[in-house]
Amino acid sequence: MPVRALLVLLALAGCKRDPSKVDADGDGVFADVDCDDDDPSVFPGVIEQIYDGIDNDCDPSTPDDDLDGDGFVVAEDCQDLDAAISPGAEEDPYNGLDDDCDPSTPDDDLDGDGYRRGPDCADGNADIHPGQEEIYYDGLDNDCDPILTIDDDQDRDQVPVDVDCDDLDPLARAPGLYFVDCDLDGFAADTVGGVEACELPAAPTACPDGTWTLVAPVGPANDPANTTVDCSDADPDAWPGQTAFFDVPVADGPAAYPYDFDCDGTDEGLYGDWTCATMPTMVPGEYFCSSVPGFLTPTACGAAGEYISGCTVIDPTTCDVGSTETRTQECR
């Protein structure tokens, strides 16, 4: 063997290979830091592939399972990205999550009546849900319909049963407040003797021939703003809003306004004072009389006076009294 070849063989035989600097899988990472030098997909810095049972990035602190650290692997944990969700956790109703990883524990429809919360107005009571028959007066909305079937208003007249005259009749509502109306004109003189009742009470003891009215007398009688107070409960012709006129005084009427039949605090006469004046026509030299019928002189209520219905022309500046008659001044 040539000397040169022998020297080369001796040199090679003297070299020893460092096993830590071996990269058997060819992934570019030596075996001393590659946790699996037989798998080119496993080496430090690679992205961890979760749930494959392999430490892909050679970093035990990067979890391959139980990513949320709640102590349950993905096979047991129904949500491995939320530590608040795991077997044994307390179910939090109505949050849309299976907190305890147990489908048999309801998140909604806790009473199991087939209705979720929202439509079900009492999700803790299986006897209360839409479509259930309403049991009136039990203090519960059994059918979850607070509009059409109100627990304490069976006739739906918007009057609760404790004040409704008849909760099965929508026309028999709350009691009315009745006031004494002795003269039967529909108005009461005051609130004395008012009675709350569901129907017309028996005849008032103050006037057995009288009746009752639901018109509440508010404010003073004989006042311009009066619309509800009878200024004389002894005269059926005297009441607020009366439009007729009379030539006799109001029975038991006030001395200040003896003819105040409309209870407004004044004695208003039907007839005013007569007036007459000459007026030129469209024809030169011709005139006519413009007149307002009335009494020749002011006439008190109930008194007779000379009533003039017109007038006639005497000359361009004078009108003569027309036909006259005696009339009695009527008032209200």
What confidence score (pLDDT) does residue 10 get? 46
Query: What does the mean pLDDT of the chain come to?
Result: 90
Going across the sheet that includes 324-328, the strands are 294-295, 304-308, 324-328
How many helices (H) and strands (E) in the chain?
Answer: 1, 10
What confidence score (pLDDT) does residue 233 get? 96
- Picking from 218, 235, 265, the residue at the C-terminal end of a domain is 265
Q: Are residues 259 and 285 in the same domain?
A: no
Residue ranges for the chain with pLDDT beneath 70: 1-17, 19-20
Does any domain span residue 306?
yes
H/E/C letters for each residue in 263-299? CCCCCCECCCECEEEEEECCCCCCEEEEEECEECCCC
What confidence score (pLDDT) does residue 79 get? 93
Does any domain span residue 199?
yes
Q: Are residues 134 and 212 in the same domain?
A: no
Q: Are residues 170 and 188 in the same domain?
A: no
Q: Are residues 183 and 252 in the same domain?
A: yes
Residue 319's domain comprises 275-328
Q: How many domains does the chain have?
A: 3
Q: Are residues 255 and 227 in the same domain?
A: yes
- Rounded Cα–Cα distance for residues 260 and 239 (Å): 9
What confidence score (pLDDT) does residue 15 get? 52
Q: Are residues 156 and 199 in the same domain?
A: no
Instruction: Decide if 184 contacts 211 (C-beta within 8 A).
Output: yes
